[in-house]
Amino acid sequence: MKLKRFLVRYYPPGITLEYEKGGCLRTRSIDLLDLTPETNIDELVAEIRRSEPLITESRADQVKQLILRLQQKQGQQGHHRFCFFKLKAHILPLTNVAFDKSGSRFITGSYDRTCRVWDTASGTELHTLEGHRNVVYAIAFNNPYGTFHLRIDYCKLWYAETGKCIHTFRGHMAEIVCITVSESNVCLAFNPQSTLVATGSMDATAKLWDVETGEEVASLTVSYLSFFFFAYYI
């Protein structure tokens, strides 16, 4: 591994290491959530070096200067606290997470075939969304709706305020997924007005759905191709 450069993250405080491994550029983060203007920099750098092999003796001074910049920034902005919730969200591993536009709520999807709506500030579970017949592989959250695709040929639209399922969109003949080299993702997007949902499938079609009625509005077919990714342009 070869360290290429450092990137500073002011809020929450931390340092990102950009390094090369096996010909690929990768990143690794060092979180400094307990950093204050009174923190002893020499002791902190020594602690970081013990746990991070990329920080060699020749790089120690650079790390000191970065931490000093973070301390100075904290002194300008006053004291900040960073709190993270550790949530026991599901009985099986999570597949995806999505925040709403304001960041006040988020939704988790899981291999346990459920989705859960959470309050970001308190970590309180607001709703459990049940009724999926397979793994929930990805999520889109666009106020006030949440849309979830399963690893089968349909997706569901939920009203996030009440946890009620509004529509089930059916019509694709294959999985509604897109494939990358290392992982599978759902091909899904809301339009900016939250009036339409677009889905892409391995059946070589993309479909537009009306959020209010649940009806299919349009369908686009490309022979011998699968939709890997798409997005709305404003």
pLDDT for 100 equals: 79
What ranges do the domains of the chain cover? 2-77, 94-221
* Measured distance CA(137)–CA(152) in Å, rounded: 10
pLDDT for 163 equals: 79
Helix residue spans in the chain (DSSP H):
41-51, 60-77
State which CATH number among 2.130.10.10, 3.50.50.60, 1.10.1740.110, 3.30.420.40 fits the domain covering 94-221: 2.130.10.10
pLDDT for 183 equals: 31
Peptide bond into 37 cis (omega under 30): no
* Measured distance CA(117)–CA(4) in Å, rounded: 40
Residue-wise pLDDT tens for the chain (234 aa)?
Answer: 888 889 888 877 889 898 888 888 888 889 998 898 889 999 999 999 999 999 999 999 999 999 999 988 877 655 555 556 677 778 888 888 888 777 788 888 888 888 888 888 888 899 888 877 777 766 777 655 555 444 445 677 777 778 788 777 776 554 444 322 223 334 566 666 677 777 766 666 777 778 788 888 887 776 544 444 445 444
**What's the length of the chain?**
234
pLDDT for 150 equals: 43
Sign of CA dihedral 211, 212, 218, 219: positive
